[in-house]
Amino acid sequence: MELSFIVYINNSNEVFFSKSKINSDKYSRSIPAELASLLFGKMDMSTKCSVGNKINGLVYFQDKLTVVSSSPILSSEEDGPKAGVLVMGRTISNEYLEKLSKNNRIKFTIGYKSSAVAQDFDKLKLISTIESGNGSVSVYDLNSDEMAGIVLLEDILRQKTIQLIVYNDKGILNHGYLILMKSSIVLLAGGAVLLFLIIVFVDRSIIKRIVSLKEQLARISEKYASNEGLETVSIPGADELHLLSEQLNFYINESYRYKQKLEMLVVDLEALASTDPLTNTNNRRRFFDIMHNELERAKRYKRSFALLVIDIDNFKGINDAYGHPVGDSAIIYVSNILKKTLRKVDTLGRIGGEEFGVIVPELEQVNLGELLRRLVDAFDKHVFTVESCSIKITVSIGVALFPKSANDLAGLLKYSDQAMYIAKRNGKNQFCLYDG
């Protein structure tokens, strides 16, 4: 089946696939401007098409008589379009018209309505005018042997631009068979052309394959949305529908590949947005998001938790004496000790330059004093070594309790910070619990 063009428009009214012999013979996601004007301008093609309003008809396109047929690809008869609409066009050659004329044993021509032809017939004798459902049929006397009937037919744009001329033997008049002329014209106008459309476009095998394509696309869409894996379409044959399926498979594979990349990128971006790059712990924003959730959970279930603010003692002196790279290493060193000492259910985050926060949930199930002593002792047991220098690093810890110290985030942060500074004033390397 040699088509002049085939276009697949997806559910967002975008051209997903096209092939045309208008400007080239290559596949492209774009279509020539004149074809786009016909589909989206004059025909107002869209995926709102339903089963009941398929487009089948003739139109003059680029000075050629062209048959256009559309078939919406639907998920079901009731739900309407889910995948898009397939539009096909085929130019009718003069050779085909001659063959059709010969097969019907009726001499006729079909062409674009032109003033030149109209003027030629205006010079002839008008024998009769016949009104039919297709419009007015004018019968002219051509010569001693022939007469001709002219009728204007509507194209798919509902404009009477298709001029059908049927020629016949004048003997029909002598036998009173003028009605036969009318019947021939109406039959040809209303039946033969539509029969041609049915033969060319609405072939049962094509319909079955379009339905198969629709069902496969619906299944792929469901699996794609639920991340059930990659599946492609399969349309056997060697025509445009098979080529369309191959092109669709290319875009399906590309879409799946991009989706996987996008999912990986989202994971990476979420990690970047929530992780402190130096210590690989929760950053300040993520830490306080978790703390907000823990506060809401504790209120709902009437539980308690503790907020710890941990600050490295004498950190400015380390930076001044050894430089900022050593200072960064000292921060990493402290975060590693905290990770090893804290429980898995505790949440650690870097909330300032040399300051860390810890959320200790479910105080009913933990000995908080023992946990705080382990943290302080852990730093006493280790020495920070860098560039052949050994540095003793300690921390001061301030503690606020929910709901005893405060019942909101601001209050907990304020009082744990105050307790931390009390620990520093009392000699550092210790913890202090805010008691109001």
- 197: Cβ contacts below 8 Å, ≥ 6 apart: 56, 57, 67, 69
Residue type, 27: Y
- Between 370 and 136, the more confident residue is 370
User: 213-230: buried (b, 16+ CB within 10 Å) or exposed (e) per residue?
Assistant: bbebbbebbeebeeeeee
Pick from 234-238, 261-265, 413-417 the range whose average pLDDT is largest: 413-417
- Single out the residue of 191, 143, 135 nearest to residue 167, CA to CA: 143
CATH number at residue 334: 3.30.70.270
pLDDT, residue 192, reads 46
Confidence label for 145 from pLDDT (cuts 50, 70 and 90):
confident
Token pair for 309:
């603010």
Same domain, 247 and 288: no
- Single out the residue of 202, 218, 206 nearest to residue 79, CA to CA: 218
Same domain, 126 and 80: no
As a whole number, mean pLDDT of residues 12-36 equals 67
For residue 277, the SS3 value is coil
pLDDT, residue 294, reads 96
Q: Domain ends where: 220, 242, 259?
A: 259
pLDDT single digits (tens) 327-354: 999 999 999 999 999 999 999 999 999 9
Token pair for 62:
């680029």
For residue 337, the SS3 value is helix
- Between 280 and 110, the more confident residue is 280
For residue 148, the SS3 value is strand
- Single out the residue of 237, 185, 231 nearest to residue 208, CA to CA: 237
Same domain, 234 and 380: no
Number of other residues whose CB lies within 10 A of the CB of residue 189: 24
32 found inside a domain: yes
Same domain, 80 and 141: no
pLDDT, residue 399, reads 97
Q: Domain ends where: 213, 242, 259?
A: 259
Residue type, 80: G
- Between 27 and 145, the more confident residue is 145
- Single out the residue of 330, 334, 300, 304 nearest to residue 318, CA to CA: 330
350 within 8 A of 283, measured Cβ to Cβ: yes
Same domain, 186 and 241: no
Confidence label for 235 from pLDDT (cuts 50, 70 and 90):
confident
Domain that residue 371 falls in = 284-433
pLDDT, residue 276, reads 93
As a whole number, mean pLDDT of residues 292-305 equals 95
Residue 292 has pLDDT above 90, yes or no: yes
Question: Is the alpha carbon torsion for 277, 280, 282, 286 positive or negative?
Answer: positive
pLDDT single digits (tens) 62-77: 778 888 877 776 655 5
pLDDT, residue 90, reads 80
Same domain, 293 and 388: yes
pLDDT single digits (tens) 171-229: 554 444 454 455 445 444 454 454 444 444 444 455 566 666 667 777 777 776 667 77
- Between 402 and 42, the more confident residue is 402
> 361 in the Ramachandran plot: left (φ > 0), alpha (ψ -120 to 50) or beta?
beta
Q: What is the dihedral of CA 126, 129, 134, 135, to 10 degrees?
A: 90
pLDDT, residue 132, reads 57
pLDDT single digits (tens) 74-115: 655 555 555 677 788 888 777 777 776 676 666 767 777 664
5 within 8 A of 35, measured Cβ to Cβ: yes
What phi, psi does 286 have (nearest 5°)?
-65, -40
Same domain, 226 and 323: no
Instruction: Write the DSSP assignment of 79-131 as a string of letters.
Output: TEEEEEEEEEEEEPPHHHHHHHHHHHT-EEEEEE--HHHHHHHHTSEEEEEEE
For residue 7, the SS3 value is strand
Number of domains forming the structure of the chain: 3
Same domain, 420 and 310: yes
Residue 405 has pLDDT above 60, yes or no: yes
pLDDT, residue 427, reads 95
First to last CA, the chain: 87
220 within 8 A of 231, measured Cβ to Cβ: yes
Same domain, 231 and 341: no
pLDDT, residue 347, reads 97
As a whole number, mean pLDDT of residues 11-18 equals 69
- Between 366 and 141, the more confident residue is 366
